[in-house]
């Protein structure tokens, strides 16, 4: 099996800033730099948090390219390349590889409800089309299908399947997947609130929404875990819990964008069918950011 880069730590599922309905390139590039300066270990452009469902293919390509250009190899970039059309996922993955991404994040096909074999063939097609690592994104609440540990195990035999972003919120999975695929299979939590517990069970990191708003704290939490300092990590977790809650009171993208607007980093603009957060949620996010110490 091909050697696989270790993807560890706090990876930010980047929002895509908009201005008057269009991509805000300047705000996005500045966000990438700020994230790296704050200690974020890696970047994930155009995942669900990047509003990939409402970006055109041309916009999707641009965001991936800007992220790679701006990161300049300082941190790994795992480009979102998911689709419920296998042909489209292959095309997005090929583009990401050509643009210089370190890996791609490919979601289980949503809406079509494929079988385990259908999911296997979908990921195999992407695997066969590129030569960079693939992280499986397993998120049953959004995609309505749950990739079994057996299917994941079969996929791991392929050259480029490197790991999983696990958004099942089932902490038992970490141990089951570790048992089936071994400790080198990269396991990234896709759920902010349970990321610390996920790490304790053998996870390698988190692809985080909240790290858009609190990149240093999310990165410090992972640093504490890697140093074996669980009491220190728990102290950071205590600061972050209200923010994990508040950001997800309404869709996480909108919550993260509201937080970034409070920090003066982007304009609060999302694309329909998403809406900016309501006033009560906005207040909760501000209070949580104060509790975390990211604003005064």
Which residues contribute to the annotated binding site? 49, 207
Q: CA 286, CA 296: separation in Å to the nearest integer?
A: 10
Q: In sequence order, what are the residues at sequence separation of 6 or more whose Cβ sits closer than 8 angstroms to the Cβ of residue 273?
A: none
For residue 30, how many other CB atoms are within 10 A of its CB? 15
Q: Is 165 a catalytic residue?
A: yes
Cis, peptide link before residue 273, omega less than 30° from 0 = yes
Q: CA 145, CA 168: separation in Å to the nearest integer?
A: 11
Rg (Cα) of the chain, in Å, rounded?
18
Q: In sequence order, what are the residues at sequence separation of 6 or more whose Cβ sits closer than 8 angstroms to the Cβ of residue 36?
A: 43, 71, 74, 75
**CB–CB of 75/45 below 8 Å?**
no
Q: CA 41, CA 197: separation in Å to the nearest integer?
A: 19
Q: Report helix, strand or coil for 201.
A: coil
Strand order of the β-sheet with 186-189 is 42-44, 9-13, 205-208, 186-189, 161-166, 134-138, 103-107, 78-80
- Which residues are known binding-site members for pyruvate? 49, 207
Longest dimension (CA), the chain: 52
Which of these is catalytic: 4, 165, 216, 257?
Answer: 165
**CB–CB of 187/162 below 8 Å?**
no
Catalytic residues: 137, 165
């Amino acid at each position: 099996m091909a050697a696989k880069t270790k993807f560890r730590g706090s990876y930010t599922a980047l929002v895509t800033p908009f201005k008057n309905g269009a991509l805000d390139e300047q705000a996005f590039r500045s966000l990438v730099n700020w994230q790296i300066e704050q200690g974020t270990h890696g970047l994930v452009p155009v995942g669900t948090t990047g509003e990939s469902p409402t970006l055109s293919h041309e916009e999707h390509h641009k965001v991936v390219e800007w992220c790679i250009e701006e990161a300049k190899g300082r941190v790994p970039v795992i480009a979102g390349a998911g689709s419920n059309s296998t042909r489209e996922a292959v095309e997005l993955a090929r583009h990401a590889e050509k643009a210089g991404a370190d890996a791609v994040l490919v979601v289980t096909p949503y809406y079509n409800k494929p079988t385990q074999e259908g999911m296997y063939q979908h990921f195999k097609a992407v695997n066969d089309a590129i030569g960079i690592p693939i992280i499986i994104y397993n998120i049953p609440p959004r995609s309505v299908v749950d990739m079994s540990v057996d299917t994941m195990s079969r996929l791991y035999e392929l050259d480029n399947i490197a790991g999983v972003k696990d958004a099942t919120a089932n902490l038992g999975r970490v141990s089951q997947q570790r048992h089936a695929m071994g400790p080198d299979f990269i396991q990234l939590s896709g759920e902010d609130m349970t990321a610390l517990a996920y790490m304790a069970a053998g996870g390698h990191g988190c692809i985080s929404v909240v790290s858009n708003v609190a990149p240093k704290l999310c990165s410090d939490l992972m640093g504490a875990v890697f140093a074996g300092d669980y009491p220190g990590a728990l102290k950071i977790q205590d600061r972050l819990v209200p923010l994990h809650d508040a950001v997800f009171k309404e869709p996480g993208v909108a919550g993260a964008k509201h937080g970034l607007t409070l920090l003066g980093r982007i304009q609060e603009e999302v694309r329909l069918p998403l809406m900016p957060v309501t006033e009560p949620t906005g207040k909760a996010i501000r209070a949580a950011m104060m509790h975390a110490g990211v604003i005064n």
